[in-house]
């Protein structure tokens, strides 16, 4: 019985191999191997976030050492941006992958938020947007975080094809951060100072 089953399987394999000419079979095998190789290369060189829309994992060391800051500063100086008026205008994928700026975590400019450490309403978010703008691959925001003293923050997000690829966030020790010019001026004044743009943690 087992011998008959095994013989039948071997016969079917020979029949399948005989369906295609030898040269065409080799071609399909080559294409298959090439496809597997390309997929492997993509998984190796592209960021993990390019394959799944989960919460983006911040590289805190990269942020705290400002390794990626110059890229954003150069873009702010040379590229055009569209201003956004409200948080609902922020692309949905950004709010999904950076949950600390989603609709529940941050208030619009004129909305109430937790401005002090005295909690009067637990439903209020701790952050409030000040300024928002974007273009086809960058998102820029400034916001204030309440608590024991209000702190202004600057946020840069690089994205492509609805995926967050890189983030820089730091605090801006400046009272006015309502434009790209304000952001550039604040960073320029404080970047070289010790703890000028960061404490020992990243807001998230």
- Interval 60-108: pLDDT, tens: 999 999 999 999 999 999 999 999 999 999 999 999 999 999 999 999 9
- CB atoms < 10 A from the CB of 1, how many? 5
Is residue 143 predicted with pLDDT exceeding 70?
A: yes
Gap between the Cα atoms of 110 and 128, Å rounded? 8
81 with 165, same domain: the answer is yes
pLDDT at 172: 83
40 and 67 co-located in one domain = no
Same domain, 89 and 128: yes
Judge if 103 and 184 occupy the same domain: yes
Residues 39, 68 share a domain: no
* pLDDT band, residue 5 (cuts 50/70/90): very low
For 25, the domain range is 2-45
> Are 97 and 168 within one domain?
yes
Residue 52 has pLDDT above 90, yes or no: no
Helix (H) and strand (E) counts in the chain: 6, 6
CA–CA separation, 186 and 38 (whole Å): 44
Please give the pLDDT value at position 42: 43
**DSSP conformational letter for 156:** E
Assess contact for 157 and 167: CB atoms under 8 A: yes
pLDDT range class, residue 22, cuts 50, 70, 90: low
- Considering the domain architecture, whether residues 64 and 110 belong to the same structural domain is answered as yes
Average of per-residue pLDDT across 33-40: 53
pLDDT of 38 higher than 70: no
Together in a domain, 142 and 169: yes
Mean pLDDT of 5-29: 51
Same domain, 105 and 142: yes
Same domain membership, residue 77 and residue 174: yes
Q: For residue 48, is pLDDT > 50?
A: no
- What is the rounded average pLDDT of the residues 48-52? 41
> Does 203 map to a domain?
no
Residues 36 and 66 in one domain: no
Judged against a pLDDT cut of 90, whether residue 117 lies above it is answered with no
- Per-residue pLDDT, averaged over 133-147, amounts to 94
Whether pLDDT at 173 is above 80 = yes
Quote the pLDDT of residue 115. 84
The percentage of the chain sitting over the pLDDT mark of 70, rounded to a whole number, equals 74
Is residue 196 a part of any domain in this protein? no
**Does any domain span residue 126?**
yes
pLDDT band at 11 (very low <50, low <70, confident <90, very high): low
The total number of structural domains in the chain stands at 2
Comparing CA positions, the residue from 104, 116, 169, 181 lying closest to residue 143 is 169
User: In the prediction, which pLDDT does 27 show?
Assistant: 57
Per mean pLDDT, which range of 24-38, 67-81, 167-181 is the poorest?
Answer: 24-38
Q: Are residues 163 and 74 in the same domain?
A: yes
Dist. CA 146–CA 121, nearest whole Å: 13
Q: Is residue 112 part of a domain?
A: yes
């Amino acid at each position: 019985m087992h011998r008959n089953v095994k013989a039948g399987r071997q016969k079917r394999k020979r029949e399948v191999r005989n369906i295609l000419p030898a040269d065409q079979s080799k071609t399909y095998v080559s294409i298959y191997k090439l496809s597997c190789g390309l997929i492997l290369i993509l998984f190796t060189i592209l960021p993990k976030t390019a394959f799944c829309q989960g919460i983006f994992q911040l590289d805190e060391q990269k942020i705290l050492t400002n390794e990626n800051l110059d890229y954003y500063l150069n873009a702010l100086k040379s590229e055009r941006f569209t201003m956004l008026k409200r948080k609902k205008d922020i692309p949905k994928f950004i709010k999904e992958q950076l949950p600390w700026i989603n609709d529940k975590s941050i208030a619009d400019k004129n909305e109430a938020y937790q401005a002090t450490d005295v909690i009067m309403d637990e439903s209020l978010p701790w952050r409030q947007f000040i300024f928002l703008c974007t273009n086809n691959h960058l998102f820029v925001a400034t916001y204030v975080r309440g608590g024991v003293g209000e702190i202004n923050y600057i946020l840069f997000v690089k994205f492509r094809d609805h995926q967050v690829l890189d983030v820089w966030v730091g605090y801006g020790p400046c009272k006015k951060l309502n434009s790209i010019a304000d952001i550039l001026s604040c960073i320029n004044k404080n970047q070289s100072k010790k703890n000028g743009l960061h404490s020992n943690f990243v807001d998230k």
